[in-house]
Amino acid sequence: MNQQNWGSFKTLLGHLEESVLTLTINRPDKMNALNQTVLSELAQVIEQLEQDQNVKGVIITGAGEKAFVAGADISEFNGADLNRAMEIASKGQAIFDRLEKNNKPIIAAVNGFALGGGCELAMACHIRIAAEQARFGQPEVNLGLIPGYGGTQRLTQLVGRGKALELMMSGNMIDASQALQIGLVNYVVNATALMAESKKLMRTILTKGPQAVARVIQAVEACFDKTKNGYRNEVTLFGQCFGTAEMQEGVSAFLEKRKPKFN
């Protein structure tokens, strides 16, 4: 597969240079929100890179200066019922799971808002490097929802139960230095240095034995395999949100640009 093939997506920009694929989620006018097209294209990319010997590592970032990814595309939630919601969560989880299990190192270069599905995408990457202006959060409760793309599991794994519960129950956003403090990100750097630092770390990893690196990923992954029921459970609970009046209110309020009234 050559460089040209990475340019053939509607919502992703792919650039292969010195064996590192930089993948940019490219919907800057919608804060790079993950709609179904982005998710399907991400799935395609993951499949391609598993087979492409020219790609040794991947850096994922967001287009524009404001957002990495500001979540799942909320406009696609309107009108979905329990079954559709469970499909949405299962699809998102499957894609992020495959990303996380990928044998090639994957770094999230978090250039701005990483909220909801965006935080979940960053957490499915092996390493996270944040620009100083990056903001993190799982604001789903503002919509009468919970994370559905693995967030309830991965956030707990990364930052521990107490902070994970706080972030998911409050919907509060944290800045990059707070994210560093709780272990949600590996480094915080100036925005101008974000891609260079991400590439530098990638270069270090790529000088190591690729099979050993792949086995590190598999070995760490094995730590968490027993939690798979947690992911299944998340799909069901996410689906159940879609039967609630509060979720209808939360999503409508966002789309109508007003504050939701839950009580």
Residues 61-90 that bind ligand COA (CB under 6 A): 70-75
Please choose, from the candidates 143, 89, 90, 87, the residue with its C-alpha nearest in 3D space to the C-alpha of residue 115. 143
Spatial separation of the C-alpha atoms in residues 226 and 209, rounded to whole Å: 28
Does residue 129 contact residue 187 with C-beta atoms inside 8 Å? yes
Indicate whether 129 belongs to the interface with ligand COA (CB under 6 A): no
Spatial separation of the C-alpha atoms in residues 4 and 18, rounded to whole Å: 15
- CB burial readout 105-127, b (16+ within 10 A) else e: bbbbbbbbbbbbbbbbbbbbbbb
Would you tell me how many other CB atoms lie within 10 Å of the CB of residue 226? 8
Select the span of 29-37, 43-51, 55-63, 161-169 touching ligand COA (CB under 6 A). Answer: 29-37
Q: Give DSSP secondary structure letters for 21-87.
A: EEEEE--GGGTT-B-HHHHHHHHHHHHHHHH-TT--EEEEEESSSSEEE--B-GGGTTT--HHHHHH
Q: In terms of CB distance, is 38 or 159 closer to ligand COA?
A: 38
Please tell me which residue in 41, 120, 197, 234 is annotated as part of the active site: 120
Show the tokens assigned to 34: 């993950």
Does residue 120 contact residue 151 with C-beta atoms inside 8 Å? yes
Residue 104 beta carbon to ligand COA: minimum distance, rounded to whole angstroms: 28
Kindly report the backbone phi and psi dihedral angles of residue 229, in degrees, each rounded to the nearest multiple of 5, phi listed first.
Answer: -60, -30
Spatial separation of the C-alpha atoms in residues 152 and 23, rounded to whole Å: 25
Task: Please give the sequence-ordered ranges of beta strands (E in DSSP) within 125-244, or none if there are none.
Answer: 127-131, 135-137, 174-175, 187-189
Indicate whether 30 belongs to the interface with ligand COA (CB under 6 A): yes
Please tell me which residue in 17, 47, 132, 140 is annotated as part of the active site: 140
Q: In terms of CB distance, is 34 or 185 closer to ligand COA?
A: 34
Size of the site for ligand COA (CB under 6 A): 17
Residues 138-197 that bind ligand COA (CB under 6 A): 139-140, 142-143, 145
Indicate whether 120 belongs to the interface with ligand COA (CB under 6 A): no
Is 140 one of the annotated active-site residues of the chain? yes
Residue 45 beta carbon to ligand COA: minimum distance, rounded to whole angstroms: 21
Q: In terms of CB distance, is 57 or 260 closer to ligand COA?
A: 260
Is 197 one of the annotated active-site residues of the chain? no
Question: Applying CB under 6 A, which of residues 12, 21, 23, 33 lies at the interface with ligand COA?
Answer: 33
Residues 202-241 that bind ligand COA (CB under 6 A): none
Question: Applying CB under 6 A, which of residues 57, 92, 105, 116 lies at the interface with ligand COA?
Answer: 116
Indicate whether 113 belongs to the interface with ligand COA (CB under 6 A): yes
Name the residues that contact ligand COA, by CB under 6 A. 30-31, 33, 70-75, 113, 115-116, 139-140, 142-143, 145
What positions carry a catalytic annotation?
Answer: 120, 140
